[in-house]
A and B are shown apart, each in its own frame.
Chain A
Amino acid sequence: MAPTTLGALASKIRSKNAGPFWVTIDVFLPDDEAFTRAAAAPCLTADRIAGIYGANPSMVKIFRISELRTIKVSFPRSVPQGSTGDRDVHSAQQYIPLAAQPA
């Protein structure tokens, strides 16, 4: 298979706050084949997600939901929403680094 990224496989990828202290990223895949491939992406481990986002690996949650052909990744924000160091108040574009990961 030609190399690709999670973002290229996905029909839609989005990120948002889940309350002021969590980020959640949803990766929607268009078919079962794309889902199977995305679900096996090497970045989908707690340690790798923690490394990409500077999160505590013990708090990272990864869900592979085959019936929805969706992958969900949640982790605590590096700083609380809207505090002095925050640069993305809604966590609106935190999906970009995940989308660039190989799948």
Chain B
Amino acid sequence: MSDEVRNPVRVLVPVGMLGAGFPSDTVKRGIAMGADAIAVDGGSTDSGPYYLGAATPKTARAAVRRDLQAILAPAAEAGIPVIVGSCGTSGTDAGVDWVHEMVCEILHQDRIPGRTVARIYSELAPTALHDKLAAGDVRPLAPAGPLTREVLDGCAHVVGLMGHEPIAAALSAGANIVLAGRATDCALIAAVPLMRGKPFGPAWHAAKIAECGNLCTTGSGLGGVVVHVGDDGFVVEPVDETDRCTPFSVSAHMLYENADPFRLREPAGTLVATNAQYTALDERRVLVRGSEFEFAEDHTIKLEGSAPAGAQTVSIVGIREPEVLLRLDEWLDSLRAYLHNRIPEVLGIEPGDYDIDLRPYGANAVLGSADPDRTPPREVGVVFCATAADQPTATTIAKFANPYLLHHPLPGADSIPSWSFMSSPAEMERGTLFSFVLQHAVRVDDPLDLVRIVVEEVA
């Protein structure tokens, strides 16, 4: 294999998310391509605040275990490190322990020798940030306002997104499997190239391009990508022979889930891709040069926090009657007004202490008033959501609303209609809701300040 970049360090990213699955030959092929490390992301905020708030993984244990098992033995045989980030979806301490337990189980069962496992915990007790908050070291990120102690203390769980430094520290301490709590998606991939002296621009840019596995390819195959990070740029190459990277597929990924198409903030500074040039080496590989990195004056750790936001009970009622569907907004508005009028009076729940929502799936539940299409639907499922401080109150509201969801007439109708509940009982208790409440970054003196690293050999 000829090197299009000087002295490359290669990282295999087999899949965008641990547990999403990849072909059985992916790891072997990636190692044959010269992988110096395997990095895989175990989480994201992408699925919402519940997983951080409840410290519960989104992924199925069996699926995560399968992916780990496919990675661990070949990596040990090749003598290369494995880095898993944002363990257990949200990167809480429980998430790190969840993945750690699986890793130990696999190492024992599959008799994989010579592995030293690091756990990097990045969960923070709200009280641990009080001094930083008082000292003015916690800064809001747009569109948030300044953080208050009340909001911070209201979080069920808080995590700080680590950069590459704790991962590099764990590897330097002898670990060859690193299980990180919440980390930036790119940190896992950038860590080994940076440790081996590759420049920050190409290392972080390569990491951003590879962070979602095949999403930077044309999507004609599964099996992730290998990034070759050199002194003078990087090359991105799909693992599957039928898959392709093009300058368009690679550059377009810089836009993905990123508000700014050229700049990406990491704890140590900002990746700047404004002057990056994307060149096709052949039909499958893309060379990128010109990636830059602006070091920040202060090292900052972005915080994520999820706070309980009451409990919810939902009911689903189907409407097929064309007369109602022609005047759906009017029907929904009159039902909503009626319930708001009666709930405080009958149930004694104050207007500020509950929320009801009527979402007409099939009409405009997704986009609301922003929906450009006003065509009357053929059928809608109206999802009624009652939210209150606790589950019994939410269910009380939903039970009270039940006969009105069943019989509410169009204004002006002269008889009582009935509508179609989806289930008996109609009410479904959704449990505690959570909300993301932190969009802030904390200044630290040392990149390792807010993490705890435990390194253990697994015999």
Contact = CB atoms under 8 A, between A and B. Distances in A.
A24 B439 contact: no
A22 B50 CA distance: 18
Interface residues of A, number: 39
A102 B163 CA distance: 43
B438 to A, nearest CB: 9
Interface string A1-44: 00000000000000011111110101010000000000000000
A93 B259 contact: no
Interface string A73-85: 0101000111111
B436 A18 contact: no
Given A59-B142, A93-B366, A97-B372, A74 B260 contact: yes
What secondary structure prevails in chain B residues at the interface with A?
loop
B62 interface: no
Contacts of A88: 366-367
A21 B372 contact: no
Given A28-B252, A52-B370, A96-B371, A84 B387 contact: yes
Contact of B49 (A56, A74, A81): A81
A16 B257 contact: yes
A87 B365 contact: yes
Nearest to A19: B45
A100 B260 CA distance: 23
A20 B439 contact: yes
B436 A81 contact: yes
Contacts of B428: none
Contact of B367 (A20, A56, A89, A96): A96
Contacts of B434: 82
Contact of A19 (B312, B372, B439): B439
Contacts of B373: 100
B147 interface: no
B133 to A, nearest CB: 19
A56 B144 CA distance: 12
A93 B255 contact: no
B309 A81 contact: no
Contact of B435 (A22, A74, A83): A83
B295 interface: no
A85 B439 CA distance: 18
Contact of B357 (A22, A74, A85): A85
Nearest to A21: B439
Contact of A80 (B49, B359, B371): B49
A76 B258 CA distance: 12
A20 B52 CA distance: 12
Q: For B256, B309, B372, B434, which residue has the most chain A Cβ atoms within 10 angstroms?
A: B372
Interface string B143-159: 11000000000000000
A11 B458 CA distance: 51
Nearest to A68: B251
Given A65-B261, A74-B259, A76-B142, A84 B370 contact: no
Contacts of A94: 367
A24 B259 contact: yes
B140 to A, nearest CB: 11
Nearest to A101: B372
Interface of B: 45-50, 142-144, 248, 251-252, 255-261, 304, 309-310, 312, 355, 357, 359, 365-368, 370-373, 385, 387, 433-437, 439
CB-CB nearest 3 A-B residue pairs: A82-B48, A100-B372, A74-B259
